[in-house]
Amino acid sequence: MKLAEALAERADATRRVEQLRARVVSSARHQEGETPPEDASQLLAEAGEVLDRLETLIRRINRTNAATDMGEGGTLTDALAHRDVLRLRHAVVTAAADAAAGSGERGYGRQLRSELVTLSALPVAELRERADVLAREIRETDMRIQRVNWEADLLD
């Protein structure tokens, strides 16, 4: 099995667990004389089986990520950490640019001469450029990760 297939299976298992959890919750209590919509015990047992499979998948995925070499960028785990931090950097820079540009503020400046003028404390254009560079780097890193996901075999 390829790593990408295991990642898709992990996502499916995670969704399945959430669906089972919701069904257990809705079937956990019922009024006297009525039958619950589903057998909560059976649903819990099924959730346990899916969770056991999920744990195995996560362990194998993590082992594969740590052992898969990405070249100069280190391991796949290193690339994933780098991508996560790039996304956070992009969010911070974009939020700073939006705030400095006055995005989300009502109005477009002063209505009267007596009102205070607000000024940007940050260079919006430079921040937007930096955000664009970060977005490109995120896309490139993500493409490298996706390529490796389809090439790497899942470890036991």
The answer to whether the beta carbons of residues 36 and 25 sit under 8 Å apart is no
Distances 72 to 41, 59, 119, 144, 151 between C-alpha atoms, Å? 50, 25, 43, 12, 17
What angle do the packed helices 124-151 and 3-27 form, to 10 degrees?
Answer: 100
Reported as a single tens digit per residue, the pLDDT across 84-131 is: 999 999 999 999 999 999 876 655 555 666 677 788 889 999 999 999
Read off φ and ψ for residue 153, nearest 5 degrees. Answer: -85, 140
pTM higher than 0.85, yes or no?
Answer: no
The answer to whether the beta carbons of residues 40 and 28 sit under 8 Å apart is yes
Which residue did the predictor score with more confidence, 136 or 112? 136
Is residue 57 over pLDDT 90?
yes
Is residue 134 over pLDDT 90?
yes
